[in-house]
Structure 1
Amino acid sequence: MRPLAAIVFAALLTACASTPDGVELARQLQPRTAWIVGADGQAVGQATFTEAPTGVLIHLEFLDRRLPPGWHGLHLHNRGDCSDFATGFQASGSHVSLSHRVQHGLLNRRGPESGDLPNIFAAPTGIHGAEVFSPYVTLHSARIGNRLPLLDGDGAALLIHANADDQNTQPIGNAGARIACAALTPLP
């Protein structure tokens, strides 16, 4: 092997060894739980984010009568900040997205954005929950392939909207106001 080729080959092996694969990453990263707060700043439930070999599983549990009954849009946003609950959780920024050319919506032929998730249903009474999976994100602090990091420098937020997401209309699928938020922030 030529000396330059040997150096390049060794560098490639080192780079591959330092980047964990999906299975190894899922073993390394601990699940993260965050309170979901409503527009009044009070808890409406909890969200637990668990790294999987090919994405992130989000387990949601809601307290009795804390979300309006019916279908609600669910999105991942690019900043882990839910502090401005009184003004509609705008500090959480926009949807997590791989590119500005990608459009919103799981049913959009030019989508989906990395932060697009299925709708959830809130029962009129009783404790309720849901689980959703996203193959577009990771709990790692850096990008893994095309999976965007939820725990980069400013974290991410899970937002719940007042209405169902139609999964096509720009920019948020007619999902309406942001009514609840869970901040996922990097560990200190």
Structure 2
Amino acid sequence: MQRKLSLSLLALSALALTACATPDAGKPPMTMGGRMAVASLTPTQGNQVRGLVMFHAMDGHLMVHAKLSGLKPNGEHGFHVHENGSCASTDGSSAGGHFNPDGQPHGPQQTAHHAGDLPALKADAEGAVDQKFMLMGPTLGQGAGNLIGRAVIVHAQADDYATQPTGNSGARIACGVIAGH
């Protein structure tokens, strides 16, 4: 049963990662061929957030596609890669702090920031997210910025991108470990 579940997750991940590289109408296709990774997010105790976060290394950056449900409708949520690849605790604390191999302050993408600081997730009226963005710096499987084996965390509140070192984004409501393919 475990093997069937793993193979199903792998197939779903591959399909989802293909969607990551599908160009939007009117835009040229993106170059394929880089490493891929996925995190299957499950809720922490008392929460309902579930989904996938797909990573695709291409052309010197990472494309990220977050597809989640169970969020606060029309809410904004902090979203980070954390240092430990563990979601064993009921509150997500086993994931540790934000992934920060370069010792940078917490902040938004356009300034100095942790390698694990990601753009906010913005849920629709049904509490779902289908969001894509690009990261510069983090990698899949190489160097100090390697995200594989770390945890992705969704937080209950918006990230203020100012409070150090966390962004004051509240409780951890979903967690998933990034697995490479």
**TM-score of the pair, normalised by structure 1:** 0.69
Structure 2 Cα separation of the partners of residues 160 and 59 of structure 1: 14
Whether 1:90 and 2:90 are equivalent positions in the alignment is: no
Q: Which amino acid aligns with 1:76?
A: V
Q: 1:136: how far off?
A: 1.9
Q: Report the secondary structure of 2:33's partner residue.
A: helix
Q: Which amino acid aligns with 1:150?
A: L
Name 2:60's counterpart in structure 1. Answer: 54
Whether 1:39 and 2:44 are equivalent positions in the alignment is: yes
Structure 1 Cα separation of the partners of residues 132 and 76 of structure 2: 14
Q: 1:127: how far off?
A: 4.4
Indicate how the Cα distance of structure 1 residues 59 and 108 shifts in structure 2: closer, same or farther if over 3 A, else same: closer
Indicate how the Cα distance of structure 1 residues 73 and 27 shifts in structure 2: closer, same or farther if over 3 A, else same: same
Structure 2 Cα separation of the partners of residues 166 and 107 of structure 1: 13
Indicate how the Cα distance of structure 1 residues 177 and 51 shifts in structure 2: closer, same or farther if over 3 A, else same: same
- Whether the aligned pair in 1 keeps the contact of 2:121 and 2:129 (CA below 8 Å) is no
Q: Report the secondary structure of 2:71's partner residue.
A: coil
Identity over aligned residues, as a percent? 30
Name 1:68's counterpart in structure 2. Answer: 72
Output one character per residue of 1:31-87: Cα deviation in whole Å (capped at 9) or x when no partner: 222211111486611111111222211111123xx1122000111111221121x2x
Structure 2 Cα separation of the partners of residues 54 and 108 of structure 1: 17
Structure 1 Cα separation of the partners of residues 54 and 110 of structure 2: 27
Structure 2 Cα separation of the partners of residues 57 and 157 of structure 1: 17
Aligned residues: 148
Name 2:83's counterpart in structure 1. Answer: 78
- Whether the aligned pair in 1 keeps the contact of 2:38 and 2:179 (CA below 8 Å) is no
Indicate how the Cα distance of structure 1 residues 160 and 43 shifts in structure 2: closer, same or farther if over 3 A, else same: closer
Name 1:150's counterpart in structure 2. Answer: 147
Larger Rg: 1
Q: 1:124: how far off?
A: 3.0
Structure 2: state its 5+ residue gaps: 1-31
Q: Which amino acid aligns with 1:103?
A: P
- Whether the aligned pair in 2 keeps the contact of 1:48 and 1:60 (CA below 8 Å) is yes
| Corresponding residue to 1:164 among 124, 144, 158 | 158
Name 1:105's counterpart in structure 2. Answer: 107
Q: Which amino acid aligns with 2:76?
A: W
Structure 1: state its 5+ residue gaps: 1-25
